[in-house]
Amino acid sequence: MQFDRVGFTPPETPAWVQSLRDVLGALEPVLELVFWCGLALILGGLVFLIGREVLKLRAPRARPRPQVVVETEWRPDETTARNLLAGADALAAQGRYAEAAHLLLLRSVEDIELKKPRAVRVSLTTREIAALSGLPEAARPTFGLIGTVVERSLFGGRPVDAADFAECRRAYEAFALPEGWRA
């Protein structure tokens, strides 16, 4: 049995390894403190997450608050409605019924955006806008009728005639102008 190493000399440690060892030796107390603080933060986070879940299980379920539906006045003022109808009538007088109906639709969408900001997204169709939960029931038939006529014109290629425009105009008047104000 041989217990001595005969003829083996260990290699010399390079200088850069020695300087790294010296730096880490000097930083040892700081690195030990960072390690224990990090470990304490991880354990504290786990205790917090587990405690939060336990408290959720023991706490009574929150009852949903009843939502109060506030019906705002959706009718545009009389001057605005009459100006819009005058502009649409001017287009219709030139035989541009599709543009007149489209004008009524665009102004109706603007009114919805004013009353309910961020409810109307660019990607919504008129049918989807008419089905919005914030839209009052009184406005749905008017908006749906005008939207249907405009969609058939723009996407279906069907021309809008005087009767279609008159129907859109009557629907807008019925909604926007109080009874007895219709011209």
**pLDDT tens, residue by residue, 83-132:** 888 999 999 999 999 999 999 888 888 877 877 777 777 777 777 887 87
CA dist 179 → 80, 163, 173 (Å): 16, 22, 9
Q: Supply the pLDDT for residue 178.
A: 65
Mean pLDDT of 33-57: 94
* Sign of the torsion angle spanned by Cα atoms 115, 119, 123, 129: negative
Mean pLDDT of 136-155: 84
pLDDT at 6 over 90: no
pLDDT at 181 over 90: no
Which residues neighbour 107 within 8 Å (Cβ) at sequence distance 6 or greater?
84
**The Cα angle at residue 163 between residues 148 and 102, in degrees rounded to 5:** 45
pLDDT at 34 over 90: yes
Q: Supply the pLDDT for residue 62.
A: 64
Q: Supply the pLDDT for residue 183.
A: 41
How confident is the model over 52-93, as pLDDT tens digits? Answer: 998 888 777 666 655 544 444 667 777 888 888 899 999 999
Mean pLDDT of 143-165: 88
Residue 16 vs residue 178, higher pLDDT: 16
Residue 64: φ, ψ to 5°: -65, 140
How confident is the model over 92-105, as pLDDT tens digits? Answer: 999 999 999 999 88
Quickly count: other Cβ atoms within 10 Å of residue 81's Cβ. 20
